[in-house]
């Protein structure tokens, strides 16, 4: 089992460890606005019991969901906003706080996250904004990461979520913003995530390793930002209706090879830590999700060109130079189809 720890990193505090959800009152306080889902609330009723108001976040796209919540929610006079859930729920909370920051400074520092997947959204500034809003990008200042929650998904969904985190770990060292600390975190994250699946579905100790690996991967990605892989996966999630975890799972074996062509020595460092080719690691883990091709998740051949064109417009591609063009992106999508 991974030892529990409390990490004070600048303005934020990260409480990590199995069983630490029992400390929710001490870590999160009470009388807060809780954004969550029915599943997540059922998995952590003690967190919900501390809230002054509980709001369930629907399925959908983050920007639209945040816009809808801003129309129905009254901004609390006191307390904070807590997100209990996966990446969608956490990103919605960040987007809501960003909009409130425009109206009342200080909300960007009043966001807490209790993750229930390996998305690592609790560690990053990345999120879409509510329509018509342009507040600062928000990163939670309090994180309560209990592996009993963050690594709680059934094995197929957990594998897809793990590939999302592995995508962070593979891409972070290859961007133009990479630095020695973020790269160390990314390499260790990759080792933890890949190692947890060796020998079959992860046991409790393996799930602890996955949770820590995801947390470190988010730290690395937040420091280095993202490029080719995340652009390719996010575009599928937004415009082809693919689940975020599934998009990462299906694309990572292919985008890893594209990143290796751009940054061979950095990918070789990952390979040394993993003991095998990173693309092969991604492919083996993708097989555990039950869907390894885009056609398996309902993407039609005619959608590939549109996704390639939309992905080619993303400025983040410049962070993994040379920027992938429409032709290369289409080739990657077709290879994954």
Q: What pLDDT, on the 0 to 100 scale, is given for residue 171?
A: 98
- Predicted pLDDT at 226: 95
Identify the pLDDT of residue 1: 64
- Residues 286-324 as b or e (16 or more Cβ within 10 Å = b): bebbebbebeebebeeebbeebbebbbebebbebbeebb
> 175-203, pLDDT tens digit by residue?
999 999 999 999 999 999 999 999 889 99
The reply to whether 160 and 126 lie within a common domain is no
Q: Are residues 53 and 145 in the same domain?
A: yes
* Same structural domain, 23 and 164: no
Number of domains comprising the chain: 2
Tell me which of 115, 150, 185 is where a domain ends.
150
| Domain final residue, candidates 150, 170, 190 | 150
Residues 76 and 199 grouped into a single domain: no
Residue 9 pLDDT: 95
Task: Mark the ranges of the chain whose per-residue pLDDT is less than 50.
Answer: none
In contact, 302 and 288? CB cutoff 8 Å: no
Residues 330 and 190 in one domain: yes
| pLDDT of res. 200 | 86
Write down the mean pLDDT value for the chain.
96
**pLDDT digits over 91-108, tens only?**
999 999 999 999 999 999
**Which residues, at least 6 apart from 208, have a Cβ–Cβ distance to it below 8 Å?**
1, 2, 18, 147, 151
Whole-model pTM over 0.85: yes
The verdict on 52 and 68 lying in the same domain is: yes
In the listed set 150, 180, 205, which residue is the last one of a domain according to the structure? 150
Residues 186 and 86 in one domain: no
| Residues 233 and 264 grouped into a single domain | yes
pLDDT value for 31: 94
* Residue 35 bridge partners (DSSP): 55, 83
Per-residue b/e over 217-240, b at no fewer than 16 CB within 10 Å?
Answer: bbbbbbbbbbbbbbbbbbbbbbeb
User: Which residue range(s) make up the domain with 127?
Assistant: 5-150
């Amino acid at each position: 089992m991974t030892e529990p720890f409390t990490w004070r990193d600048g303005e934020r505090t990260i409480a990590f460890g199995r069983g630490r959800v029992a400390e929710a009152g001490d870590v999160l306080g009470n009388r807060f606005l809780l954004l969550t889902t029915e599943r997540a609330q059922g998995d952590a009723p003690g967190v919900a019991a501390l809230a002054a108001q509980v709001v369930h976040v629907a399925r959908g796209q983050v920007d639209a969901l945040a816009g809808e919540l801003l129309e129905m929610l009254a901004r609390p006079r006191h307390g904070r906003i807590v997100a209990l859930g996966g990446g969608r729920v956490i990103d919605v909370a960040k987007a809501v706080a960003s909009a409130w920051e425009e109206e009342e400074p200080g909300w960007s520092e009043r966001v807490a996250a209790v993750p229930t997947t390996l998305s690592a959204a609790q560690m990053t500034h990345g999120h879409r904004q509510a329509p018509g809003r342009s507040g600062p990008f928000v990163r939670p200042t309090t994180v309560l990461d209990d592996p009993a929650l963050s690594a709680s998904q059934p094995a197929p969904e957990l594998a897809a979520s793990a590939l999302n985190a592995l995508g962070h770990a593979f891409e972070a060292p290859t961007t133009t913003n990479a630095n020695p600390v973020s790269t160390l975190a990314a390499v260790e994250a990759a080792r933890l995530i890949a190692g947890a699946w060796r020998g079959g579905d992860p046991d409790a100790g393996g799930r602890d390793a996955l949770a820590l690996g995801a947390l470190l991967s988010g730290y690395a990605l937040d420091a280095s930002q993202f490029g080719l892989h995340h652009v390719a996966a996010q575009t599928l999630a937004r415009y082809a209706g693919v689940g975020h975890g599934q998009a990462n799972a299906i694309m990572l074996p292919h985008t890893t090879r594209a990143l290796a062509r751009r940054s061979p020595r950095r990918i070789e460092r990952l390979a040394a830590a993993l003991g095998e080719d990173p693309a092969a690691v991604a492919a083996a883990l993708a097989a555990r999700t039950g869907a390894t091709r885009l056609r398996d998740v309902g993407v039609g051949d005619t959608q590939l060109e549109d996704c390639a064109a939309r992905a080619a417009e993303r400025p983040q591609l410049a962070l993994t130079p040379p920027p992938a063009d429409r032709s290369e992106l289409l080739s990657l999508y077709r290879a994954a189809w």
